[in-house]
């Protein structure tokens, strides 16, 4: 599977897309229009003459204010409520948002979406750096924020949007008690208040800190700084990366994430005990957000993608919403039929839990009484529609036949079709949030994290990564069959059809006769004869590839995005020569997707959020696009580049 850690956190680039000067290309001019050839999942034969036009083609980027279904978020980390509004630490956007509970209408309280910084100021003039924790004062006049990337605690006046720094100093990472800026933190990520003090989960210091609101004096309430699980009083206790924190006025309840435990701290004495043990029958794998009604705790399990309930008196644990198996998704339903993705902070208001569904960029609601879930704001990431009204969830690859763009919508377990003429998005095969391996037509078929796709113009060929198989889809009918590999069986065997085995196959391309596959888990390149399903190994692991992802061909050579080695490799089909491509003028940074117009290569750099252009003849390169978040798949219809941005759940068009 692709590098999931890049989906949400390794994305410090600003939101604005820019087009830079690029080397190794050109084009245009007069004369007859060249004949385009379908090859490598793209249309080749004309050197792309790109301008500075970069637009969203389909899906949604994540910072828009507006009504409930118009709002967009970017990995929301935590929520707090005054009973009328929900306040959101919109982590990926580095802003603080407000959502009206009654309507879902969303606005920005402070910060500027996509722009990080540390400056105090009012509303959009203030800056944050990936804030992940938020709490509201007892009089509802102030918000308190864990500004995680700045290692500070910030205060926001709700009425004016004025932001000040309460404790810590931006850019200073450490552990020190003291007053205001004299104190220091290390990635604080959870915060709660009892009206007199703030309590901070100082995550990478493995401590719980206390801040007196009257004086901004910072002390340590519990934890020694040693990464461990131990009960005790004050600094005799030990935590491991505590994250969420809640208070009932007498005790604190801590999501001790690194320990897979839930802890209780008596505020008056600092006595720490463990409520939910890591080896319990109903253990919480990765507790993230936590809220309490005084009798129960409500804890998000980011590892199992569900919401748990803990009875404080008995420590009994049950699942309120989401399934026990941890299946991710974005489904509104009751109890175990609901699906979440990396759920984070929670807030409890009058029998309703409001939940930051971080992996889906949504704010969700769950009824305590019934376990029924619904969406408060944002758009479910599987909706069909036109342009930005459609939703994707981590689309990792795409291809085109010149009429449509076809998208491997990875975390929705579906294959989507986007009309180039209209931007209309529909689901060609699979059913959102229903992973599986069944062959069939349309919604009757199922996939498991498909993350590579190519076409010969009549069929689509899909790397069904989670199933370790290669699938075939007839475009006209949506009929899905398994061409090679056996679902659930990982391996490296050559052979025909189900006798072959793969290990996390990703990028895939075709010359019309054969498929060429980046078998990422095996660090190899495989060949599949389309007519027979016969699989052979072209480039073995001994060649030195490390997590190869993208692959394309011009009919003469294969070009491989050797991701972990930060290079492009070439394999000649006629002579079987394999070597790194000599590239100048551009730095590759976790290259992930690759395509060609027959003259240049276009490579997505997942870590730096950019697209590079490299001349096939000379290796001279330059930067085409910057400012993307996690670009992966890339293709061209002969005049336009299409890029799948897995982080922003969108397909971007570059002309």
Strand partners, 54: 654
The structure tokens listed for 361 are: 């960029």
**What pLDDT, in 10s, does the model give residues 203-214?**
999 999 999 999
The answer to whether 229 and 190 have CB atoms below 8 angstroms apart is no
DSSP for 411-480 reads: GGTEEEEEETTT-EEEEEES-TT------EEGGG---SSEEEEEE-SSEEEEEEGGGTEEEEEETTT-EE
DSSP for 207-239 reads: EEEEEETTT-EEEEEE--S-BS-B-EEGGG-BB
C-alpha 299/C-alpha 307 separation (Å) is 6
Residue 346: is it exposed, middle or buried by C-beta count within 10 angstroms (0-12/13-18/19+)? buried
Looking at domain 75-652, its CATH architecture is 7 Propeller (2.130)
User: Which pLDDT score is estimated for 25?
Assistant: 34
| Residue spans per domain, the chain | 75-652
**What pLDDT, in 10s, does the model give residues 161-187?**
999 999 999 989 999 999 999 999 999
12 vs 616 pLDDT, higher one: 616
DSSP for 184-203 reads: BBSSEEEEEE-SSEEEEEEG
78, 228, 239, 277 from 251: Cα distances, Å: 20, 21, 16, 18
C-alpha 476/C-alpha 457 separation (Å) is 10
**What pLDDT, in 10s, does the model give residues 278-299?**
987 788 999 999 999 999 999 9
C-alpha 131/C-alpha 89 separation (Å) is 6
pTM above 0.75, yes or no: no
pLDDT, the chain, mean: 91
Rounded average pLDDT over 404-423: 94
Residue 371: is it exposed, middle or buried by C-beta count within 10 angstroms (0-12/13-18/19+)? buried
The structure tokens listed for 607 are: 């870590």
The answer to whether 178 and 161 have CB atoms below 8 angstroms apart is no
The structure tokens listed for 433 are: 């949030």
**What pLDDT, in 10s, does the model give residues 117-165?**
999 999 999 999 999 999 999 999 999 999 999 999 999 999 999 999 9
Sign of CA dihedral 147, 151, 156, 161: negative
277, 514, 516, 559 from 527: Cα distances, Å: 48, 7, 5, 14
Phi, psi of 192 (to 5 degrees): -145, 165
522, 557, 559, 565, 596 from 581: Cα distances, Å: 21, 11, 9, 12, 14
C-alpha 396/C-alpha 353 separation (Å) is 32
Strand partners, 454: 461
């Amino acid at each position: 599977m692709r590098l999931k850690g890049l989906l949400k956190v390794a994305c410090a680039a600003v939101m604005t897309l820019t087009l830079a000067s690029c080397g190794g290309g050109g084009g245009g001019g007069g004369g007859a229009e060249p004949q385009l050839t379908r090859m490598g999942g793209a249309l080749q034969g004309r050197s792309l003459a790109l301008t500075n036009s970069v637009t969203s083609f389909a899906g949604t980027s994540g910072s828009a204010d507006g009504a409930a279904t118009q709002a967009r978020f970017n990995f929301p980390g935590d929520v707090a409520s005054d009973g009328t509004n929900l306040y959101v630490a919109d982590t990926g956007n580095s802003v603080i948002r407000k959502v009206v509970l009654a309507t879902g209408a969303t606005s920005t309280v402070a910060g500027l979406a996509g722009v990080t910084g540390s400056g105090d100021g009012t509303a959009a003039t203030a800056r944050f750096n990936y804030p992940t924790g938020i709490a509201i004062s007892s009089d509802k006049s102030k918000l308190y924020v864990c500004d995680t990337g700045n290692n500070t605690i910030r205060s926001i006046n709700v009425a004016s949007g004025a932001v000040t720094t309460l404790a810590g100093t931006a850019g200073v990472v450490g552990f020190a008690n003291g007053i205001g800026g004299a104190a220091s933190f290390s990635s604080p990520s959870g915060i709660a208040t009892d009206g007199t003090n703030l309590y901070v989960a100082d995550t990478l210091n493995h401590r719980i800190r206390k801040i007196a609101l009257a004086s901004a004096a910072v002390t340590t309430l519990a934890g020694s700084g040693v990464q461990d699980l131990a009960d005790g009083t004050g600094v005799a206790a030990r935590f491991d990366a505590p994250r969420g924190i809640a208070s009932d006025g007498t005790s604190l309840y801590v999501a001790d994430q690194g320990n897979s435990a839930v802890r209780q701290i008596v505020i008056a004495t600092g006595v720490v005990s463990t409520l939910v043990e890591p080896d319990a029958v109903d253990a919480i794998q990765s507790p993230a957000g936590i809220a309490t009604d005084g009798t129960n705790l409500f804890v998000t399990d980011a590892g199992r993608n569900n919401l748990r309930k803990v009875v404080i008196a008995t420590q009994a644990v049950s699942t309120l919403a989401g399934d026990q198996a941890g299946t991710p998704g974005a489904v509104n339903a009751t109890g175990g039929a609901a699906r979440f993705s990396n759920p984070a902070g929670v807030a409890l208001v009058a029998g309703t839990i409001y939940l930051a569904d971080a992996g889906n960029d949504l704010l969700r609601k769950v009824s305590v009484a019934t376990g029924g879930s619904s969406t408060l704001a944002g758009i479910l990431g599987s909706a069909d529609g036109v342009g930005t009204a459609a939703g994707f969830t981590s689309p990792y690859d795409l291809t085109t036949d010149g009429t449509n763009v076809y998208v491997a919508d990875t975390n929705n377990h579906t294959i989507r079709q986007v009309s180039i003429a209209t931007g209309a998005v529909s689901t060609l095969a699979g059913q959102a949030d229903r992973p599986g391996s069944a062959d069939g037509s349309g919604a009757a078929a199922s996939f498991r994290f498909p993350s590579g796709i190519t076409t010969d113009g009549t069929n689509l060929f899909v790397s069904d990564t989670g199933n370790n198989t290669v699938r075939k889809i007839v475009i006209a009918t949506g009929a899905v069959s398994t061409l090679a590999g056996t679902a659930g069986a990982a391996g490296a065997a050559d052979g025909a059809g189900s006798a072959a085995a793969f290990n996390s196959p990703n990028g895939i391309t075709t010359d019309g006769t054969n498929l060429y596959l980046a078998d990422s888990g095996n660090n190899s390149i495989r060949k599949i004869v389309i007519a027979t399903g016969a699989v052979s190994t072209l480039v073995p692991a001994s060649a030195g590839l490390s997590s190869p992802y993208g692959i394309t061909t011009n009919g003469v050579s294969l070009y491989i995005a050797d991701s972990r080695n930060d290079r492009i490799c070439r394999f000649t089909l006629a002579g079987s020569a394999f070597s790194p491509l000599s590239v100048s003028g551009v730095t590759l940074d976790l290259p992930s997707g690759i395509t060609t117009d027959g003259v240049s290569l276009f490579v997505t750099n997942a870590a730096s959020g950019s697209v590079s252009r490299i001349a096939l003849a000379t290796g001279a390169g330059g930067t085409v696009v910057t400012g993307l978040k996690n670009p992966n798949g890339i293709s061209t219809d002969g005049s336009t580049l299409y890029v799948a941005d897995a982080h922003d759940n969108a397909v971007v068009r570059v002309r």
